Structure 1
């Protein structure tokens, strides 16, 4: 045995020993999770027991990142713990998560990022169906897009909060990356047809113009459909989609990250029917309806300024009632359980036609 082989053997033996310790600790954690489930069922009852606590998971992931000393990056360590927590939660109670489909899209990717791959994610055709499935109890939670960095707010999602009595339980931010996928391994050669949705085209147009100006662009309803068409058409056909789609349909990634904006991202909301406790870094969302008058929005925002509360988002939507009313969706820092937030909400309540608290929830960790 050479000197190199001797040194490598020592290191590999050390890795094997560490792996055994990790394995044992993982099983210890899983057994502890099972005991947590037993305690909750004992005191809350099997029907009413709440197994998923968004604020608790956010705190755990933040601590993971705070104590990380490397060489693994903070987000990579948090991602590993996210999956450990997902597996352990599945031992307590398997999670059923509805998401705005179809299968293989970025919303499914966001759902897996937030809940881990041990959650059962089910696609639905519309945001209405996602909200209805959660409200009826068919799914524990739902995941819907709310805002894209390049295309703005998803207004339809906002309007659904007027119709359904659901709570925002969390948020997840996902960096959007599109790739060129094809069934063969010819790279970027001989591409004649490109399948992609309209939204994807708008986010990758400049790259496509500079690389495949003469190739035919065929619009389809989803990235998953683009993948299926690329497989069906065969030679010369490619799809523009995510890495998740590539994995689902076993396609080759022949060009990565072709987005015109490298920082393109989408924010998603986690909807459910439970109130979420304080995590230490929280956000609150409300819907307020006011009578139309000069300076109405200024008067609303003045309360936040007076109490030094930072807004993170505001969107104007038409009210459902008469034209003399306007509705505003407002996101701001802080939790509704905090006294200074309660003061603002009380002041707003007295000056608005309607105030609906949509939820207080942890700021996205991953």
Structure 2
């Protein structure tokens, strides 16, 4: 047979497949009606595993067995999505314990940030809440989450990622540990300065203090001055404060211009970080399940079965509902070797029907899902 005849056979088979697929989806729709009427869950994992095992047994080669498994996994995934859609259409809307609000502002609100006066976190706090914000600083990220938990703060401002250094992994982990939620974000351009006591010159400096990420971001400058000893600090503002307190001309800090102003230091050299477009994204966190009306980004974390195809099927909920996923990160799960928790950002609002459909599917099919916030 020539290629034209073979392709004609393929077209006829494909036509039959489409017809059978539509018949199957009609039956799936009837199953959805039954499940809705009887309060049954859409996702029946054991039934699907049994079904895949059965259809794989009908094939005649290992290659076809693998292909049939993938094909039927997709067919059953589409069946579930149809059923989730019918649940929404028949009024079984997903109930989310988040309350839309008009504003985060208020004279009684207290905001904490990690670091000290002059830290980039303080700048992000002022930029987001305004210069009259009632704020205070804490030593560590965990202290900031603790301040929300004990009620001494209403909001915390924390760095979540840097455009050159990547994510702040500790903050990601704390978001899953504590019942706190993201309600806003602020991006700050990072411009590191080499700061010293008044009168200090570059040739005087033998030791420089800064946060490890700031040292890394200034690696090119520091490589040109390899005789300068580098010492890590928990925060750039802490580094500036130390240099100010020690009053030692041989010491310098890598920190912001504002940190220099706060601690009475002079700028020895500006813009020493090599990336011209270096910025840090800060998140605004609270312990209340609220979100601003009109919020356009959702963050969540989830755990999925540790088996082939799990992440692929989870991602399909975003595709099917037309949602734009903007970020995905993974973090190892403590005490579970080689298993990971995924953090996902996507465009949407918790009141959107497409978002609710996707979240319904994610909640049923993931081992764990937590909405981290809508902002």
Match for residue 152 of structure 1? Answer: 166
Which whole-Å CA distance do the structure 2 matches of 1:204 and 1:325 have between them? 34
CA deviations over 1:234-284 (Å, ceiling 9, x no partner)? 3343222111211111211232111011112111111111411332x6100
* 2:227 is equivalent to residue 214 of structure 1: yes
Which whole-Å CA distance do the structure 2 matches of 1:266 and 1:350 have between them? 34
- The question of whether the paired residues in 2 share the 8 Å contact of 1:94 and 1:119 is answered with no
Which whole-Å CA distance do the structure 2 matches of 1:192 and 1:321 have between them? 42
Which whole-Å CA distance do the structure 2 matches of 1:153 and 1:342 have between them? 28
Which whole-Å CA distance do the structure 2 matches of 1:154 and 1:142 have between them? 15
Match for residue 291 of structure 2? Answer: 276
Structure 1: runs of 5+ lacking an equivalent: 1-49, 55-88, 362-366
Task: Compute the TM-score of the two structures, normalised by the length of structure 1.
Answer: 0.68
CA deviations over 1:175-213 (Å, ceiling 9, x no partner)? 111101122245545434333333221110111222x33
Task: Compute the TM-score of the two structures, normalised by the length of structure 2.
Answer: 0.67
Which whole-Å CA distance do the structure 1 matches of 2:272 and 2:340 have between them? 40
Moved over 6 A (4+): none
Match for residue 217 of structure 2? Answer: 203
Match for residue 226 of structure 1? Answer: 239
* 2:266 is equivalent to residue 252 of structure 1: yes
Match for residue 131 of structure 1? Answer: 145
Q: How does 1:162-311 map to 2 (within 5 A)?
A: 162-185=176-199, 187-210=201-224, 212-231=225-244, 232-272=246-286, 273-279=288-294, 282-311=296-325
- Which one has a bigger Cα radius of gyration? 2
Shift, 1:163, TM fit = 2.1
SS state at 1:276 partner: strand
Which residue of 148, 154, 171 corresponds with 1:140? Answer: 154
Aligned-CA RMSD value: 2.5
Match for residue 42 of structure 1? Answer: none
Which whole-Å CA distance do the structure 2 matches of 1:196 and 1:348 have between them? 41
SS state at 1:194 partner: strand
SS state at 2:146 partner: helix
SS state at 1:104 partner: coil
Structure 2: runs of 5+ lacking an equivalent: 1-99
Q: How does 1:114-125 map to 2 (within 5 A)?
A: 114-125=128-139
Name which of structure 1's ranges 116-125 and 218-227 shifts more when overlaid on structure 2. 218-227
Aligned length: 274
Which whole-Å CA distance do the structure 1 matches of 2:152 and 2:278 have between them? 33
Which whole-Å CA distance do the structure 1 matches of 2:289 and 2:185 have between them? 14
